[in-house]
Amino acid sequence: MAEVEYTPEQIDEIGEKLNDGKLPLAARFRALFVLRNVKDDKSVQWIGKAFSDPSALLKHELAYCLGQMQNSTAIPVLNEVLADTKQEPMVRHEAGEALGAIGDKSSIEILKKYAQDLLPEIAETCELAYQRIEWIHSKGEHTNSPYDSVDPTPSHTSEDVAELKKILVDPSQPLFERYKTMFKLRNINNEEAILALGQGLHCPDSALFRHEVAYVLGQIQSPLSIPDLAVGLKNPAENCMVRHECAEALGAIATPESEALVHEYAKDIDEVVRESCEVAIDMKVEYTPQQIDEIGEKLNDGKLPLAARFRALFVLRNVKDDKSVQWIGKAFSDPSALLKHELAYCLGQMQNSTAIPVLNEVLADTKQEPMVRHEAGEALGAIGDKSSIEILKKYAQDPLPEIAETCELAYQRIEWIHSKGEHTNSPYDSVDPTPSHTSEDVAELKKILVDPNQPLFERYKTMFKLRNINNEEAILALGQGLHCPDSALFRHEVAYVLGQIQSPLSIPDLAVGLKNPAENCMVRHECAEALGAIATPESEALVHEYAKDIDEVVRESCEVAIDMSEYEKSGAFEYAA
The tens digit of pLDDT for each residue in 508-541 reads 999 999 999 999 999 999 999 999 888 788 988 9
The CA distance from 79 to 381, in Å, is 51
- Model pLDDT, residue 344: 98
Query: For residue 573, is pLDDT > 50?
Result: no
Amino acid 1: pLDDT: 38
Helical spans, DSSP H, in 320-441: 322-330, 337-350, 356-364, 370-383, 389-395, 401-420
pLDDT for 576 beyond 50: no
Residue 297 among known ligand-binding residues: no
pLDDT, greater one: 429 or 202 = 202
**Residue 156 annotated as binding site:** no
Q: Is the pLDDT of residue 570 over 60?
A: no
Task: Please check if 94 is assigned to a binding site.
Answer: yes
Q: Which residues contact 20 (CB under 8 A, 6 or more apart)?
A: 28
CA 463 centroid distance within chain: 17
Angle at Cα 208 formed by Cα 202 and Cα 120, nearest 5°?
115
Q: Provide the β-strand partners of residue 565.
A: none
CA dist 474 and 477 (Å) reads 5
Q: Cα dihedral angle (142, 145, 149, 150), rounded to 10 degrees?
A: -30
Is 492 annotated as a binding-site member? yes
Q: Is residue 463 scored above 80 in pLDDT?
A: yes
> Of all helices (H) and strands (E), which one includes residue 533?
helix 521-534
Cβ proximity of 479 and 506 under 8 Å:
yes
Domains 155-284 and 436-577 in one fold: yes
Range 52-64 average pLDDT? 96
Residue 228 has pLDDT above 80, yes or no: yes
Q: Binding residue per annotation — 526?
A: yes
- Residue 150 sits at φ, ψ, to 5 deg, of -95, 110
Cβ 475 vs Cβ 463: under 8 Å: no
Our CA dihedral for 58, 63, 64, 65, rounded to 10 degrees, sits at 90
Confirm or deny that 61 is annotated as ligand binding: yes
The per-residue pLDDT for 560 is 83
Topology (CATH level 3) of domain 155-284? Leucine-rich Repeat Variant (1.25.10)
pLDDT at 564: 59
Average pLDDT over residues 280-308: 88
**Listed range (34-38, 99-103, 456-460) with the worst mean pLDDT:** 34-38
Is 153 in contact with 128 (CB distance < 8 Å)?
yes
> Topology of 436-577 in CATH?
Leucine-rich Repeat Variant (1.25.10)
Report whether pLDDT(572) > 90. Answer: no
Tell which residue, 548, 489, 486, 480, has the closest CA to residue 510.
Answer: 480
Give the CA-trace dihedral at 293, 299, 300, 306, to 10 degrees.
Answer: 160
Does 374 appear as a known binding residue? yes
How many residues are recorded in the chain?
577
pLDDT beyond 50 at 571: no
Contact residues for 521 (Cβ-Cβ < 8 A; gap 6+): 337, 371, 551, 553, 554
Which of 3.30.460.10, 3.30.930.10, 1.25.10.10, 3.40.50.10680 is the CATH number of 1-141? Answer: 1.25.10.10
Q: Is 245 flagged in the annotation as binding? A: yes
What does the alpha-carbon distance between residue 563 and residue 228 come to, in Å, rounded to a whole number? 43
> Could you tell me where the DSSP H helices lie in 254-355?
256-264, 271-283, 289-299, 306-319, 322-330, 337-350
CA 517 to chain centre: 32
Indicate the pLDDT class of residue 210, thresholds 50, 70 and 90.
Answer: very high
pLDDT at 577 (0 to 100): 21
Distance CA 160, CA 563 (A): 45
Q: Give the global pTM.
A: 0.69
* Residue 93 labeled ligand binder: yes
**Known binder of ligand: residue 202?**
no
Q: Is 483 annotated to bind ligand?
A: no
pLDDT exceeds 50 at position 2: no
Amino acid at position 124, single letter = E
Q: What share of the chain is helix, strand, coil (3-state, %, to 5)?
A: 75, 0, 25
**Sign of torsion over alpha carbons 87, 93, 97, 100:** positive
Q: What is the pLDDT of residue 12?
A: 95
Angular region, 288: left φ>0, alpha ψ -120 to 50, beta rest? beta
Q: What is the mean pLDDT of residues 30-44?
A: 92
Mean pLDDT of 413-426: 91
Instruction: Pick the most confident of 154-158, 251-255, 567-571.
Output: 154-158
Confidence (pLDDT) at 568: 43
Instruction: Report whether 529 contacts 311 (CB < 8 A).
Output: no
Greatest Cα pair distance in the chain: 71
More confident residue, 140 or 169: 169
Domain 285-425: which CATH class?
mainly alpha
C-alpha 251/C-alpha 238 separation (Å) is 19
What pLDDT, on the 0 to 100 scale, is given for residue 4?
55
Do 47 and 32 form a contact (C-beta atoms < 8 A)? yes
What are the boundaries of each domain within the chain?
Answer: 1-141, 155-284, 285-425, 436-577
pLDDT, mean over the chain: 92
Q: How many CA atoms lie within 13 A of 350 on its CB side?
A: 29
Compute the distance between CA of residue 433 and CA of residue 326 in angstroms, rounded to an integer: 24
Confidence of residue 242 (pLDDT cuts 50, 70, 90): very high
